[in-house]
Chain A
Amino acid sequence: MLITTMVDNKMLKKLVSMAAMSILIAGTAAADTLDDVIDRGTLRCGVVLDFPPIGYRDANNQPAGFDVEYCKDMAAALEVELELLELTWADRLPVIVTGRADVVFGATSDSLARAKTVGFSVPYAIYYAQGIVNSKSGIKTVEDIRGKRVAAAVGTVPEQEWLKIAKEWGEENLYQGYQSENEVFLAVAQGKADIGITTNTAVKPIADQYDTVDAGPRMPWTTDYTSVVGKRQDISWLNYLNLFVTHQVRSGRYQELWGKFVGGEAPELRIPGVMY
């Protein structure tokens, strides 16, 4: 009997101290992500891995791509270990909101709607939306898409922008939302959809990969300025992210990685006519 109460006491103490610890940890998390990361010794970096060549898995099934390299660079700059979190498109913002990840490099467009929920750095890469079409679809221009089946990934800007157009056309029923960008590619290649909306950087590798897929028209919405995502409330962390982005450009690393994964001249991270 005595022994059991002792054990119970020990257990109780352990439980209480664990509870106290978790409150303490949560308390510091509220204070500052930067301190938290340094303290913890790991950077929890979210990436999307079905977005070649920005994020994908290489022949050894290891994460690779432009965004993955950015995660590595950032962990190196902070002198901490890197913990990569593979995310779906729809997961990118919730992981920041719930605090599962410290930062997300996921070609995230800095829309005002999203900025109500998370914080954005200055743009770190610039894309535009482009279609990949099934070669039998006969789609050449945006107007040709009328009456055709359109695919995009759930929770992306292309999905939301396209649904606006589809609503005008009364063709929302022709839209197909997939869990991953890759399923969009597959759907177009197999002929389940006539056109998939993706990003200009992905178009060339995809069109090279499939015989049945061609590069399609550029979509009629604005250029995608994509930013690094962090907690909205944590200004000092967002400042650090800004500084990281500018350092990547200044050191030439931005051009180097863009050339390696996408090819060609990296787009200038400048917004014409505006002071950012």
Chain B
Amino acid sequence: MEQSVTVFSSFSVQDLSFLGEAALRTLWISFLSITIGSVLGGFFGWALYEMKVWGAIFLNPILDVFRSVPLIVQLVLFYNFAPIVGLNLDAFESGLVVLTLYTSALVANVARGGIEAVGKPMRITSRSLGMSYLQDMRYVVFPIGARAIFPSWVGVALGVMKDSALVSVLGYVELVKASQVLITRTQEPLLIILVVGAFYFALSYPVSRYSAKLEKRWSQ
């Protein structure tokens, strides 16, 4: 009896929709981790600024771990740690947790820099004009600080978007994993690698150009 199935087949039109879905997954996990991570990171940055001693002793060393250990090691470590403590997280959830914390650690530094960028005299002035602490934060520190750090934040966000490719190691079928699936089946590595590279480039390049333009305009 001969085997009756074929295990290889060439690149077809529906593979494009397979890649498209995978690209959406890349966007989705990046979007979630960048949004949640930025909010968390903003909070951490504020905490680092306001609570100098506690921040330096507790918060900063923890955030440092996420900045000093390769993302791929963080991912593998957390993915294998979660079930040990009884958490049944799949590849997407594990990847999301790690990417979010990783983003927040990077954003924390940026955010602290943003608050520091607002000069002390300006803040003393706003408080002496009768603004409360929150008003000072909302109407003075945030608009000025956000402007100062916007380019760095865009850099972090784009970095996380590109780094999300590593979640493929856990088996989450985002763009890179999907490309590996297709390479296995179709055996056309060069074509598929280039298509995937073009996708990331098309996403990242315009944003980074736009941010560089804004930076120039604001600095004038």
Residues of A bordering B, CB below 8 Å? 22-23, 25-26, 29, 49-50, 52-53, 56-61, 64-65, 85-88, 91, 94, 98-100, 180, 182, 185-186, 189, 204-205, 209-210, 259-265
Q: How far is the CA of A245 from the CA of B185 in the complex (A)?
A: 29
In chain B, residues 63-80, which have Cβ atoms closer than 8 Å to a Cβ of chain A? 80
> Which of B1, B182, B185 meets A56, CB within 8 Å?
B185
Closest CB in chain B relative to A207 CB, distance in Å: 12
**A204 cross-chain contacts in B, Cβ below 8 A:** 3
Q: How far is the CA of A110 from the CA of B18 in the complex (A)?
A: 36
Residue B12 is within 8 A (CB to CB) of chain A in the complex: yes
Residue B181 is within 8 A (CB to CB) of chain A in the complex: yes
A261 touches B9 (CB 8 A): no
B3 touches A52 (CB 8 A): no
Whether A59 touches B9, Cβ cut-off 8 Å, given contacts A87-B171, A98-B80, A264-B1, is yes
B27-35, B82-90, B148-156, B203-211 - the one binding chain A: B82-90
Closest CB in chain A relative to B138 CB, distance in Å: 21
Give the A-B contact count at a CB cut-off of 8 A.
83
> Which of A23, A49, A56, A260 meets B3, CB within 8 Å?
A260
Residue B189 is within 8 A (CB to CB) of chain A in the complex: yes
What 11 additional pairs, Cβ within 8 angstroms, besides A61-B18, A61-B185?
A53-B5, A61-B181, A87-B171, A182-B184, A189-B187, A205-B3, A205-B7, A260-B3, A263-B1, A263-B2, A263-B4
Residue B15 is within 8 A (CB to CB) of chain A in the complex: yes
Closest CB in chain B relative to A106 CB, distance in Å: 13
A186 touches B83 (CB 8 A): no
**B185 cross-chain contacts in A, Cβ below 8 A:** 56-57, 59, 61
Per-position contact with A for B14-33: 1 when CB-CB < 8 Å, else 0? 11001000000000000000
A25 touches B184 (CB 8 A): no
Q: How far is the CA of A52 from the CA of B88 in the complex (A)?
A: 29
A186 touches B171 (CB 8 A): no
Closest CB in chain A relative to B30 CB, distance in Å: 21
> Which of B2, B80, B88, B184 meets A180, CB within 8 Å?
B184
Whether A64 touches B181, Cβ cut-off 8 Å, given contacts A22-B87, A94-B80, is no
**B18 cross-chain contacts in A, Cβ below 8 A:** 61
**A87 cross-chain contacts in B, Cβ below 8 A:** 171
Residue B118 is within 8 A (CB to CB) of chain A in the complex: no
